[in-house]
């Protein structure tokens, strides 16, 4: 089976780089997205997301006629679905969010009319266990004239597999090529075909397994990181209570040959680590005890930081009795969800800053070297530069360890350092 035309459904942070990479390696690629803005941008050879090196790859692919973006799916030999898998609003008593597969269902519905015998459909979106089988059921519902692995095993007309993306934002272009891929087909033939397809550009191993293991592997990777970060965050709270410098503590413990503690911070952000563990918890709530607890620990960290800032304001007013809280200026350093990127989505730093703006009657400024304007929702917050912030602020809240903050002059006043930036000076 050779795949000449590949269709990628969902041209976001994963879909667009994947589409561009197939095009760069000679495939004809049809990208599909529901946003006409996205389609127009890509067809101009431009990109709508921030990802190093991606712009030139997309530009070349579009100019050479290898990549085009459309609103409505067209026939192809393989379809890769890379759409979001968000949560449903919490309605259950246990406060555990349930995954919402509506975008996967919509993608299945959209590609169903153009599916033909011999096509391969791969779900790339990070999904709860069982989602790929569910997607295949939806496809078979929409195309009763075609056969699927559930009923026809290796003889099915359509092959279906799950191949979760595992790339790190900011390093997507390199990691797409170098990382190993886990490939879980609904049957062995499905796995083999999917592996053959990824071998177009993947230099890492394409390791084959069954579909549920592939789904669980991705959730396991991100849950493992979440649990490890929760351990670090819990240590930071314990150390604060016991008046121990957590950064020194961790660096000492990490001198042990078999210990590698991650870094505490203001909480866990982004679309992946703070989301994926819930897919395990919602499926197996009785069993997923550590994973659930880790989520709660990491989710509670922003509020802990906000309380620290409240305490800092009280401390400042106590030692500056002539001032009122309206005259106290707070500077927040970093708004992105992790260092050296401009991505503010699901950022604990932004969330904390907004909460400070809400409770504090005085001025609040933010320093975020990776953006030029604040999001529209950040009312009463002022964007400024590092130099101005250290001059004007009475309380400094360090929320992200951007490279611009390391090794800099120590600000005067009270410092709430959630990232151990000061220890790296």
Active-site residue numbers?
A: 218, 272
Residue 264 beta carbon to ligand SAJ: minimum distance, rounded to whole angstroms: 7
Q: Which is nearer to ligand SAJ, 10 or 169 (CB)?
A: 169
Q: Which is nearer to ligand SAJ, 184 or 270 (CB)?
A: 270
CA distance linking residue 150 with residue 148, whole number of Å = 6
CA distance linking residue 274 with residue 294, whole number of Å = 10
CB 198 within 8 A of CB 163: yes
What phi, psi does 161 have (nearest 5°)?
-150, 165
- At residue 108, the 3 state secondary structure works out as helix
CA distance linking residue 175 with residue 183, whole number of Å = 16
The alpha-helical segments, DSSP class H, found in 25-167 are 36-43, 54-63, 102-111, 131-142, 149-152
Strand pairing partners for 209?
Answer: 184
219 burial type by CB count under 10 A (0-12 exposed, 13-18 middle, 19+ buried) = buried
CA distance linking residue 114 with residue 131, whole number of Å = 21
Q: Which is nearer to ligand SAJ, 166 or 396 (CB)?
A: 166
Q: Which is nearer to ligand SAJ, 159 or 354 (CB)?
A: 354
In whole angstroms, how far apart are CA 34 and each of 103, 107, 172? 10, 10, 23
Q: Closest Cα to residue 6, out of 185, 41, 147, 25? A: 25
Q: Which is nearer to ligand SAJ, 185 or 265 (CB)?
A: 265
Binding site for ligand SAJ (CB under 6 A): 126, 165-169, 221-222, 225, 229, 262-263, 265, 268-270, 272-273, 337-338
Token pair of 77 as six digits: 């030999």
Residue 19 beta carbon to ligand SAJ: minimum distance, rounded to whole angstroms: 16
Tokens 């350092």 correspond to 417
Q: Which is nearer to ligand SAJ, 109 or 225 (CB)?
A: 225
Q: Which is nearer to ligand SAJ, 263 or 310 (CB)?
A: 263
In whole angstroms, how far apart are CA 162 and each of 70, 147, 257? 24, 18, 36
Residue 91 beta carbon to ligand SAJ: minimum distance, rounded to whole angstroms: 25
215 burial type by CB count under 10 A (0-12 exposed, 13-18 middle, 19+ buried) = buried
CB 223 within 8 A of CB 277: yes
Task: Name the residue number minimizing CB distance to ligand SAJ.
Answer: 272
Residue 166 beta carbon to ligand SAJ: minimum distance, rounded to whole angstroms: 4
Residue 1 beta carbon to ligand SAJ: minimum distance, rounded to whole angstroms: 28
């Amino acid at each position: 089976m050779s795949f000449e035309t590949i269709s990628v459904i969902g041209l976001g942070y994963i879909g667009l780089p994947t589409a561009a990479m197939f095009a760069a390696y000679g495939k004809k690629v049809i990208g599909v997205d529901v946003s006409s803005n996205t389609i127009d941008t890509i067809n101009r050879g431009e990109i709508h997301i921030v990802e190093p090196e991606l712009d030139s790859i997309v530009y070349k692919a579009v100019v050479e006629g290898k990549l085009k973006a459309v609103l409505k799916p067209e026939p192809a030999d393989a379809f890769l679905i890379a759409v979001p898998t968000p949560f449903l609003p919490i309605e259950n008593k246990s406060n555990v969010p349930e995954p919402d597969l509506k975008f996967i269902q919509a993608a299945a519905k959209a590609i169903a009319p153009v599916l033909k015998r011999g096509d391969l459909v791969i779900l790339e979106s990070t999904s709860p266990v069982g989602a790929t089988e569910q997607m295949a059921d939806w496809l078979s519902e929409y195309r009763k004239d075609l056969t699927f692995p559930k009923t026809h095993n290796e003889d099915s007309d359509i092959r279906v597999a799950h191949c979760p993306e595992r790339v790190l934002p900011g390093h997507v272009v390199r990691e797409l090529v170098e990382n190993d891929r886990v490939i879980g087909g609904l049957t062995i033939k499905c796995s083999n075909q999917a592996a053959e397809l990824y071998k177009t550009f993947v230099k890492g191993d394409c390791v084959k397994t069954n579909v549920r293991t592939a789904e669980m592997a991705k959730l396991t990777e991100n849950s493992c990181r979440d649990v490890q970060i929760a351990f670090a965050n819990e240590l930071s709270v314990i150390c604060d209570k016991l008046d121990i410098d957590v950064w020194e503590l961790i660096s000492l413990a990490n001198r042990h040959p078999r210990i590698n503690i991650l870094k505490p911070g203001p909480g866990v952000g982004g679309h992946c680590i703070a989301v994926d563990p819930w897919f395990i918890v919602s499926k197996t709530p009785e069993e997923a005890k550590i994973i659930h607890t880790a989520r709660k620990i990491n989710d509670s960290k922003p509020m802990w930081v906000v309380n620290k800032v409240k305490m800092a304001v009280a401390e400042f007013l106590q030692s500056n009795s002539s001032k009122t809280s309206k005259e106290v200026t707070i500077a927040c350093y970093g708004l992105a969800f992790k260092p050296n990127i401009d991505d503010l989505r699901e950022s604990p730093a932004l969330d904390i800053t907004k909460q400070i703006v809400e409770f504090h009657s005085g001025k609040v400024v933010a320093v975020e070297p990776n953006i030029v304007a604040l999001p529209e929702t950040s009312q009463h917050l002022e964007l400024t530069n590092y130099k101005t912030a250290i001059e004007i602020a009475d309380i400094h809240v360090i929320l992200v360890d951007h490279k611009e903050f390391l090794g800099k002059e120590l600000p005067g006043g009270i410092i709430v350092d959630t990232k151990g930036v000061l220890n790296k000076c």
